Amino acid sequence: MLGYIFYGLTCLVVILFANFSASKPNLAGEGAMAYGLLLVFFGLAFAISSLMLTLYVGGKNGFDWISIHSFNRNILVGLGWLCMAVVVFACGVFKWEWYSESYPQFLHGLAKINGQVWLPLFMLVPYLFLLNTDIRANVSPNVYKIPLMIGFLLVFTAGMGLLFGWLQSSAKQQTAILESHNEREIAIRNDHLQTIANHKTTDNILYLMSLTGRFHDEDIRAAAVAKVKEKPHWEDQLIELLENKHYYAEAYTFLDGNKVDNPEKFLEPLNRSILFTADEVHHLIKDADDLQEWHFEPFNIDRLLRAIDEQFLNKGMDFRPALLKLQEALQTTPPERFKNVRFKETLLVKDWLKRHK
């Protein structure tokens, strides 16, 4: 009895799907959304009902003739059901929406002749015999074997066409995404180079800082650094940034990897800038409305520590007291809801202090 319920449900879904896809839908605005949702509904309904029916037939040993090995038999039956479910859904989609650039043309032809209606018959007609062992015993095995094999070949071929089309469509999409990404990268690169070329010696050095970082493309970085060093008093301007409580972190970008001519001039301003950082970090944590582990990345503390190591260490300035202040600031007790937030800068400073006792 249960098997006939599944059989009836599957037949009902096929009939309703046939009626739904018989006339051309409204593919504009909300009509397109409703049509798409109903397509998915019928596709899922057919897949689920036909799966339950197939499992029931299998439980009645209806597929034992396919192979004596249960594993091979289950693979073939499962593949046949999957191909049938996917192809029937695809026929419903392709009848009124066709993607000619990706999928083989025969799939459109299959949809145009209502494959979603007659393809399931290659499953439903044989299943009618396989559901009942008494009926099955009184008919020639070819009555259910031949339709099932023909149906399997049809949906397997169509399924391979769908797979080919999907792979081709995915490849085209990935190619388009890659080309778009490359175009954006080229546009950004050209914009950076144009910004550097248009920069005048009288312009604020701040506007070049972000382009001088060690992680920029080498040609952009080299051009930006060269433009900075064209300025008559570029080191004094860098020091002015270091002494500015709003922009000192921008100077770290330059100092991280780009040598200055007179490092001793930078020692005091650099040390004071660390105290600026400590003071700001302390207040941001103490009065925080929001804290994340990346919250202090804009302070460029990692760049600061590399700059000290590479060109300001052992030049007559002990940076440890200031960095201890910064460590203390990073360990400020935050509001209760942020007590589990950990900043990566805390570990960076701790490691630096450990290495420079």
CB 100 within 8 A of CB 108: yes
CA atoms within 13 A on the CB side of 67: 9
Q: What is the mean pLDDT of the chain?
A: 90
CB 285 within 8 A of CB 329: yes
Give percent of the chain with pLDDT exceeding 90. Answer: 61
Where do the domains of the chain lie?
2-162, 206-355
Question: Which residue type occupies 137?
Answer: A
**pLDDT digits over 102-157, tens only?**
788 888 888 889 888 899 999 999 998 888 877 877 888 899 899 999 999 999 99
CB 57 within 8 A of CB 63: yes
pTM of the model: 0.61
CA dihedral for 305, 303, 224, 272, sign (positive or negative): negative
What is the arithmetic mean of pLDDT over 43-71?
90
For 344, residues 6+ apart whose C-beta sits below 8 A from its C-beta are 293, 294
Count of C-beta atoms within a 10 Å radius of residue 62:
23
Question: Which residue type occupies 323?
Answer: L
Quote the CA–CA distance of 226 and 159 in Å, as a whole number: 60
CA dihedral for 54, 56, 62, 63, sign (positive or negative): positive
For 17, residues 6+ apart whose C-beta sits below 8 A from its C-beta are 42, 45, 46, 88, 92, 116, 117
Band (pLDDT 50/70/90 cuts) for residue 345 is very high
Quote the CA–CA distance of 286 and 250 in Å, as a whole number: 24
Angle of helix 70-94 relative to helix 142-198, nearest 10 degrees, comes to 60
